[in-house]
Amino acid sequence: METIITSKIVLTPLIPMVTALLIMASKNKPNLRESWSVCGALLTFLSVVYLLPHLLAGGSYKYTLFTLYPGVSIKFHLDGLGILFAGTSSFLWIMAGFYCVGYMRGLSEHAQTRFYFCYAVAVGGAMGAAFSANLFTLYLFYEIVSIFTYPLVAHHQDEEGYFGGRKYIVYLMFASKAFLLPAMVLVYVQCGTLDFAIGNVVPGIFPHNAAPLLVKITYLLCIFGFAKAALIPMHGWLPAAMVAPTPVSALLHAVVVVKVGVFSVARVMLSVFGIDILNKLGLGIFTAYLASFTIIVASMIALTQNNLKMRLAYSTVSQLSYIILGVAMLTPNSITGGIIHITNHAFAKITLFFCAGAIFVATHKKNVSDMGGIGWNMPFTMIAFGLASLSMIGVPPVSGFVTKWFLALGTLDIHNTILLTVILVSSLLNAGYFVPVVYTSFFGKPNPGDNPSSGFLEGSPLIMFMVIPLFFCAVASVLFGIFPDFFLKIINLMVVR
């Protein structure tokens, strides 16, 4: 099918931006403001759905908005990878839209208009990144996401918030200026263009006679430049960002922001360098080991965390590397496993964060050790938590299993037992830090000092605003595990088997 040139695809990144302005304009009317947020999310998702049929039929869309310099332009192009990320993020924004209402009102947070404004812009930035057709456009939206999430991280405007915010912006801006900017220039110097090779992941855009050393340097600059992918040692910002309100941690630091990072890494690996060069220079397997290291180390750190959100943060660091690991193994199976994890991890991790937030709003508890017996007060929340944990661990039939199945197949394809061991060991580690939470919440004893909170806590309307979306996400996780075909079909569009 043909590539359609249409400005319609600009709509998807544009809708959240317009939503943000509407939110700003109705700052004194909370109900209107929050309905804008939900409507914007809904419209964004619908615009993605609208583009889907043509893509499933094998076509694609593209549109050039501005040309800055020959080969450097603001240009959009939608393919399988992009629509998977965009669809996931925009759908979860709808869930988060409802959840935010419960959370922010439940805690009577300050500066809510700023919060919703930045939230919408950040999602818009992610949409733009998903739709970008060249490195410059990707960089532009990547940076928009960085800047507009700073006010969200530092939202509480207390000492802790400012400290976290500073760490966050320093990591991200330093990496993008120090690594990404030169990487982009070097790509242009070597290729004469920044446009992705979309539609075929094999050739990349580098000329055949490119100097290997320079290509390697460019590659390293790229993968460390996208610090949002949180590869060790560029992961420090993610735990620091957990000072943000939980809806931010949930949608942005489990789905939108971090996925912009891994999406960008995957995009650069597949559409800029291409499988050929990565194989030839041994960069693929190098990245795979780097990701494996991150998976294991971050999981071990997660084991030691008592604060639930911190535990989830390190779990995120580790899970993101599954995506990179999958792509880096460069076989059709592994790439499928990696990319499908964008969706699988998103649904599961947002559930976990939503749960952490709901628990905090209902009981003001942050630490795992304080959560003894809480499952009887908040059964739906903790059941959802349990389901999402199963997905993280990779137990069938929950969606995480699909990821690990394809990743394992990938390691067998390249006959690498070390990587296979990493996947298996990391699953054990995942179980090691998630199972205790579920166990404590149902079978643990409340701390002696606490006055035991009694009764069913999920009845009040504000809490319902949180519990319904989170339960929905958990159920979706299970469904995606049982019926993964739809996502596999989208991924097959770009991965040649």
What residues line the site for other proteins (CB under 8 A)?
A: 65-69, 72, 74, 110-111, 136, 139-140, 143-144, 147, 154, 157-159, 162, 166, 169, 173-174, 177-178, 181-182, 185-186, 188-189
Identify the CA nearest to 12 among candidates 57, 56, 52. Answer: 52
155 or 259, CB closer to other proteins? Answer: 155
CB nearer to other proteins: pick between 101 and 129: 129
**Six-digit token string for 215:** 């290509």
We find the least distance from the C-beta atom of residue 195 to other proteins, in angstroms, to be 16
Q: Which one, 160 or 450, has the nearer CB to other proteins?
A: 160
CB 353 to other proteins: min, Å? 25
- Cβ at position 139, least distance to other proteins in Å: 5
Nearer to other proteins, 143 or 458 (CB): 143
- In the bound state with other proteins, the residue whose beta carbon lies nearer, of 175 and 356, is 175
CB of 182 to other proteins, least distance (A): 5
Q: Give me the least distance between CB of 66 and other proteins, in Å please.
A: 5
Of 2 and 69, CB closest to other proteins: 69
Q: Does residue 203 have a cis peptide bond before it, meaning omega lies within 30 degrees of 0? A: no
Neighbours of 57 (CB within 10 A): 9
Is the alpha carbon torsion for 18, 21, 25, 26 positive or negative? positive
Per the CB < 8 A criterion, the answer to whether 84 and 342 are in contact is yes
Nearest residue to 223 (alpha-carbon basis) of 185, 171, 183 = 183
CA–CA distance, 388 with 386 (Å, rounded to integer): 5
Instruction: Give the shortest CB-266-to-other proteins separation in angstroms.
Output: 21
Residue 104 CA to residue 117 CA, distance in Å, equals: 14
How many angstroms separate the CA atoms of 328 and 433, rounded? 26
| Nearer CB in complex with other proteins: 154/356 | 154
CA distance 235 to 292: 14
Residues with Cβ < 8 Å from 392, sequence gap 6 or more?
Answer: 315, 319, 345, 348, 349, 352, 400, 430, 434
- Give least dist CB 155 to other proteins, A: 10
Look at residues 389, 205, 386, 222 and name the one whose alpha carbon lies nearest to residue 312.
389
